Amino acid sequence: MSGAAEFIRENTALHEPPLIPEIRLHLASEIVPIWQMTEEELEKSGLPPPFWAFAWAGGQALSRYILDNPEIVRGRRVLDFGSGSGLIAIAAMKAGGAAALAADIDAFAVAAIALNAETNGVAVTVTTEDLAGVENRGWDIILVGDMCYEGPLAARIEIWLRKLAGEGTAVLIGDPGRTYLPKSGLEKLVSYAVRTTRELEDTDVRNTSVWRVLPG
């Protein structure tokens, strides 16, 4: 983990995401080079590309919504699923969450989350366990950003989230309308125009919404 943390420190810089200036993250400042470098680094251990190095539109929207409506997470136990940089978990703790678990199967992401949480002065627990499909482990609310980019993954997550929503767990998704976002069973709560870059997205601004998952 120390090697991953050292790599992150050397190849990122602290930035404030455009929609979340209250939070500073270790992010890629030269997008294409770091993406290529980390892919080469991670290939050796079979880990995925460095999604943790970017503040994606869905995560920014969901974090903004939480910070503007802290009662959503205040005093509650939060799961940030597919956490990436840890942005959503950090926002939840800044908004008064009782505890936040940031889950990401990428060990580099877990190292980035730990660094980012420390930078922002909040305590976030991290795990590389794939939690999709597990029973609720005491979470009051589950927060998911930008996870609808791949068909089989999105379908598996949707089944799981609908089950948990049916059991009474609050589930919120932040997503800019990616291909595999469910076409039904969602309640739109708010939308934001999120500034991004054409090296990550197909436009400079993504209209991004926060959705509540309805029980399945």
pTM: 0.92
Average pLDDT over residues 147-153: 92
Q: What amino acid is encoded at 183 in this protein?
A: K
Q: Name the strand (E) or helix (H) holding 143.
A: strand 141-145
Strands (E) located in 50-138: 77-81, 99-103, 125-127
Bigger pLDDT: 72 vs 41: 72
Per-residue pLDDT band for 3 (boundaries 50, 70, 90) equals confident
What is the average pLDDT across 93-119? 97
pLDDT of residue 205: 86
Contact call for residues 147 and 157 (beta carbons, < 8 A)? yes
Q: What is the spatial order of strands in the sheet that 186-195 belongs to?
A: 125-127, 99-103, 77-81, 141-145, 170-175, 205-213, 186-195
Place of tokens 């290939």: 43
Task: Evaluate if residue 209 carries a pLDDT over 70.
Answer: yes
Cα atoms in the 13 Å half-sphere on the side-chain side of 112: 33
For residue 38, pLDDT over 80 is answered with: no
Contact 10, 116 (CB under 8 A): no
Residue 11: its pLDDT value, please?
Answer: 84
Q: Reply yes or no on whether the pLDDT at 2 is more than 90.
A: no
